Amino acid sequence: MESILTAIDEYRIILGAIVLTILATLLIRKYWDEVSFFILRLRMNMPVFGKIARLSNSGSREDSGWFSAEKSLCSEFQPYFQEVDKGPDFFDSCRSYLRKVTELGRSKLGFFGWVAIAVMVFIEAMGFSYVLAGFTIPGASEALKQQGAVGIALLISMLLVFMTHATGHELHHNKMVKKVRAWFRQSENGQHKAMMPNTEVSLDNNEIDDNEPAWRQLLSRIDANHSVTPSYKVTVMTGIMVVLIALGATFVRGQVLESELAGAHDPVASSQSADPYADAIPAELRSSQEEVDSRVDETIKDATLKGGWGTFIVLAVIFIFLQIVGVLIGIKKGFAGSESAVAAKFTGKFKNREEFQVYQERKRNVVSQIAQRNLTKLQGKMAKKLSDTAIDTSTLKALESGNGRTFLAYAQTVRKDHSSDHVDSSKGRHARDEEMASIQKPQPTHDAPTQSAPKVEEPSSQSSATSESQIPEEAIQEWMDKLGWGREETVALLVKQQQKEQAKKPAVSQEEALRMLEAADK
């Protein structure tokens, strides 16, 4: 143990660098979104090699009215905006997803939990890595053995932490599979259905299986094998590795102890005495004394061996139980659902949907404001450079005015395109259901005369144009500035709102219409 402490003290700088590197890696991984967003801002605003400086040299304009440089810059910020562009409905969807996969309330192992496990396993591995280094590097110097001990301890501790945590995840996943099979057997219609998942289930399409049995909802959210049975491959591998390390380390420790005791009680070395009067002692007394010393030495050696082996066995038991603790932590922490970790990331630290909405709105405003500042900076640089080279004055005027080309307008366009793609994919999925519904819809009979209901006409393009002409230009510009949208999207929203207000007006009843006609005839 003293040699281990000496090695740690001697190589404290190297060990400190390794520990700091691991801690920095874990912290960067945990806060990668913030770190990568900071790096993006640096890349954008570098003086010469920054993206704004490079994009400002491009003046090509697309048919949509946007400049390619503007869209390229907005596309860099769009993923970060999309990450925080979530509403309270998404919060409810995440909670529903976790509830269906029976993982509501679970969480991932935190940063300090990982550090605590790694430190405990490293300390335990250092206990026998120095002994192993002597056999791994035979004939090496003491300093090289100490370095080898640190390296072996790091290697063993990393393997054990990974394997025990993976074993815990596998056992938790197996518990989910067993739950699926138990619920399938208990289901009333389970025997008449195949145990197959719904492949269309996802976090964004979570409500598609609301009416399906609980076993299928759970099965659709975990990655099970083709036979939906538990698997213990990682568990068996971890068990073999832990047992081999425990037995091997205990055996090597015992052999080293026996070797040291044999060297300490060497009869040849013991017979060489520095006493000048040893030969003057009578042979009978010297033989009796050597017999007594031999019995004492054997007693001490036997006691030392028993104590050493007992200590090594206790250390092996502690080592095994430490790995069991790692497995239990893996069972309690982490997720088996395919997208449970993502759902828990968005809902874990919020008590209700209102807190989630406030947080998302705050983060969304931060990202959009930073993106808009960079876009404005790009537009200013492009206008300054194109003012000397542009021949088309309309292009320069469009660049200087902006004309609604803001980051929020770009994000709105991307959101609309994504929604339309989602709707188009949903049409193919529900086409058969709509066709069956139309076939099964009851047709009107001709047995009795029926009074035809007044026909409601859909608003045509002419009425839409009329509605647009009724909206003041000042109101359109005011809402364009508030929303950050283009003119077309803003006008469409205002027209839709105007039509809703008109639809809320009470319709004229048939009696009132007759009275109006009679009054007009008179």
pLDDT tens for the chain, residues 1 to 522: 555 566 666 667 777 787 788 778 878 887 888 889 999 999 999 887 889 988 888 767 776 778 888 889 999 999 999 888 888 889 999 999 999 999 988 888 887 788 788 888 877 777 777 677 666 666 667 667 667 777 777 788 888 889 999 999 999 999 999 999 999 888 765 555 678 888 899 988 899 988 888 999 999 999 988 889 999 999 999 999 999 988 888 888 887 777 777 766 555 444 544 455 555 566 666 677 677 767 777 787 778 778 888 888 888 888 899 899 999 999 999 899 999 999 998 887 888 888 998 999 999 999 999 999 999 898 888 877 776 665 556 666 666 655 678 898 888 888 877 666 555 555 544 444 444 344 334 444 444 443 444 443 444 444 444 455 567 776 776 676 666 666 677 777 777 777 766 665 555 555 666 666 666 555
Kindly give the interhelix angle for 111-136 and 283-332, rounded to the nearest 10 degrees: 150
Residue 310 burial class via C-beta count within 10 angstroms: exposed 0-12, middle 13-18, buried 19 and up:
exposed
Block residue for tokens 């003086």: 47
CA distance 115 to 119: 6
Provide the token pair at 252: 């090597």
Of 80, 351, 328, 98, the closest CA to residue 203 belongs to 98
Token readout for 384 is: 């300054």
pTM for the whole structure: 0.65
Q: Which residues pair with 85 in a beta bridge?
A: none
- Residue 61's DSSP bridge partners are 67
> Looking at residue 48, what DSSP letter applies?
T
Among 117, 235, 238, which residue's Cα sits nearest to residue 171? Answer: 235
Instruction: Name the 3-class secondary structure at 336.
Output: coil
What single letter denotes the amino acid at residue 150? V
Where do runs of H (alpha helix) occur along 266-406? Answer: 267-271, 283-332, 340-347, 353-389, 393-401
Q: CB–CB of 94/343 below 8 Å?
A: yes
